[in-house]
Amino acid sequence: MSFYTQWQQQDWQTLQLQSRNFSTAQVRSALHKTRLTLCDLQTLLSPAALPLLPLLAAKAQQLTRQRFGHSVQFYAPLYLSNLCANECTYCGFSLSQKVKRRTLNSAEIAQECLAIKGLGIDQVLIVTGEHERKVGIDYFCDVLPLIRRHFSNVQLEVQPLTIEEYARLKSLGVDAVMLYQETYNAAAYQQYHLKGKKSDIHWRLDAPDRVGQAGIDKIGLGILLGLSDWRTDAILLAQHLQYLQKQYWQCRFSLSVPRIRPCSGGNKVSNPISDKELIQLLCAFRLFAPELEISLSTRESAEFRQHVVPLAITSVSAGSKTQPGGYSVEPENLEQFSIDDTRLPEEVAKALIQQGLQPVWKDWDSFLGR
Amino acid sequence: MLRIADKSFSSRLLLGSGKFAHPSLMQQAIQASGCQLVTLALKRLQLGQQQDDLLHPLQQMNIQLLPNTSGAKTAKEAIFAAQLAREALQTNWLKLEIHPDPRYLMPDPIETLIAAEQLVKLGFVVLPYCSADPVLCKRLEQAGCAAVMPLGAAIGSNQGLQTRAMLEIIIEQATVPVIIDAGLGAPSHAAAAMELGAAAVLVNTAIASSQNPVAMALAFAQAVNAGRTAYNAGLAAAHSHAEPSSPLTDFLATL
């Protein structure tokens, strides 16, 4: 049984109603547990937990330090292409967006890799739009060896692929695949994803299963905050995580919960989440899954990151450029979304050191997970 | 003295080098504890660079480096890591750890034994992290490992000697040093391990994640010494009822 089958049995409305129906006493009891159930997580995500956020944050911080020590990993995104055959109402790369399209060639990729290395970064996240024909498996197989030799850890955030394709990428050195579901709300998903393969929710929901079956070391899950009710999305993501952890017990898992940022498409956020609620979400997940890697990108402001990283975060991006060629080849091109924290990696690192955290630039080797 | 392979150590406390807030804090903690054997993860080292943040401070100290294979999920990966470590750090000492399960980081007994057998043949001094399984520990010993490192509890869990009953059997049967690794969360846990007859203990999380790592390192060192001294002195057995400390037996003997 794949996760899709389990997901189909869930009723969004019921879960959404449940998510608000908890008391302070229940929150306190969940806060004291060492092994949390999904129901405990629901409790910690509920509005009743918000007044107890200082307690939740303190426990999250303690668990983060116990599990990960004082270290915080650094990575940067490497955008290879903004070609996209999808129409997603919130994204600046969408098909109908009048932006200059470009896909980096080998020479440009080498130049970008060196520019990223120049920032001190050794772990990279490859990102592309979704264009099966022009930026598909053959392109990835061509460019991966060029990128692999520069970095100790290579993560990939591209369209969902088949098991065989993931297996090929693993053999070429992909250490992790990020597959953000955006939202687990079927109705909302259809509203936001109008055209292209991304509108097929089944194909996307089962993609982490295919990564797991291909034996890739790490799977990244995520939701795009702002698309739908965040509490309900978070519970379904937790179900997804729990399912995957049982099926693919050798995989590591990471979580990313970006908030929608302004992009060249322009959009109004229909389900906003406050700073406090985002902290609640991140900390609740730390209690639910102490081993979960959680990243926080430059979408968030320097100040917000400064306060939240010590609580629950294990990896941060820094110095990010969100357009192909953005580091060196063509820094002027349009970005996928505008970033907020524009500090250089060394500045972010320095600030973390002042808070008693140790930046980790490398924590993997090319022979691991092959 | 703790003797492992051809080396002797006056300290019976091994430290890990991960999780510290700052390399200088790690240095101070090592110094305070008097520890002479320090593990470090090969995957963390930026070997191409002139001065690695983690390695450089360790190399300045008078300690035996014990590179580990953390990150390896198979014997093949661990052997590869071991060879890289030997070349880069000029030591054939190796802490072998293979945990395919990233959630609880439980060691894989099958892959660990396979790797240990091959690494010993390749000339390594192998110290394997393993489950508290008496038969596995004997098998690792037979494979030629210089010590065995069974776990007290899950790595980083601070739960203490959850595997005590098995550790007692392992220590009773061992002909190589038994180093209790993982799960020791308080100096009292370390003292208890030493009282059982462990040759040494390895601690990282409880020290590095403490509010004051330097003081905590010292506390662990003291606990290890106390536990070892007590073990050597011979611990009295526990009884279920009271016994007078000034016995009447002398009088009874005269009757």
3-state secondary structure of A309: helix
**Mutate which of B15, B83, B103 to test chain A, going by most A C-beta atoms within 10 A?**
B103
Q: Is the Cβ pair A365, B42 closer than 8 Å?
A: yes
Q: Is the pLDDT of residue A148 over 80?
A: yes
Q: Which residues of B touch A367 (CB under 8 A)?
A: 77, 80-81, 84
Greater confidence (B209 vs B245) lies with: B209
Of A65, A71, A368, the CB nearest to B72: A368
Band the pLDDT of A66: cuts 50, 70, 90: very high
Among B134, B92, B86, CA closest to B109 = B134
Residues B189-201, mean pLDDT to the nearest whole number: 97
Q: How is chain A split among helix, strand and coil, in percent rounded to 5?
A: 45, 15, 40
Rg (alpha carbons) of chain A, rounded to whole number: 20
- Give the β-pairing of B200-203 and A123-128: unpaired
Q: Which tens digit of pLDDT belongs to each residue from A80-93? A: 999 888 888 888 88
Pairing mode, strands A87-88 and A193-195? antiparallel
Q: Considering all CA atoms of chain A, what is the largest pairwise distance in Å, rounded to the nearest integer?
A: 60
Across the interface, of A65, A68, A353, the residue whose CB is closest to B22 is A353
For B146-156, write each residue's pLDDT tens digit: 999 999 999 88
Phi/psi at A77 (nearest 5 deg)?
Answer: -80, 145
Amino acid at A219: I
Residue B95 annotated in active site: yes
Q: What is the pLDDT of residue A266?
A: 57
CA distance A148 to A263: 30
For residue A185, what are its two tokens? 């709300």
Long-range contacts of B46-51 (CB under 8 A, 24+ apart): B46/A122, B46/A361, B46/A362, B47/B84, B47/B88
Confidence of residue B50 (pLDDT cuts 50, 70, 90): low
A44: phi then psi, degrees, rounded to nearest 5: -70, -20
Instruction: Report the pLDDT value the prediction gives residue A2, as an integer from 0 to 100.
Output: 85
Listed by number, the residues of chain B in 122-151 with a beta carbon closer than 8 Å to a beta carbon of chain A are none
Say whether A122 and B46 touch across the interface (CB within 8 A).
Answer: yes
Residue B18: per-residue pLDDT: 85
**ipTM exceeds 0.90:** no
Cα–Cα distances (Å) from A344 to A75, A114, A120, B194, in that order, read: 12, 16, 10, 48
| Interchain contact, A358 vs B158, CB within 8 Å | no
DSSP 8-state class, residue B182 = S
pLDDT digits (tens, 9 = 90+) for B86-122: 998 899 999 999 999 989 999 999 999 999 999 999 9
Q: How many residues does chain A have?
A: 370
Q: Which of A67, A356, A364 sits opposite B71 (nearest CB)?
A: A364
By CB neighbour count within 10 A (0-12 exposed, 13-18 middle, 19+ buried), where does B42 fall? buried
Domain B2-233 bears CATH identifier 3.20.20.70: yes
Among candidates B129, A288, A287, A283, which has minimal Cα distance to A296? A283
Give the closest residue to A192 by CA, choosing from A86, A90, A94.
A90
pLDDT in tens, B121-141: 999 999 999 999 999 999 999
DSSP assignment of A283-300, as one string? HHHHHH-TT-EEEE-TTS
CA separation for the pair A331, A347 (Å, rounded): 20
Query: How far does A100 lie from chain B, in Å, by closest CA?
Result: 38
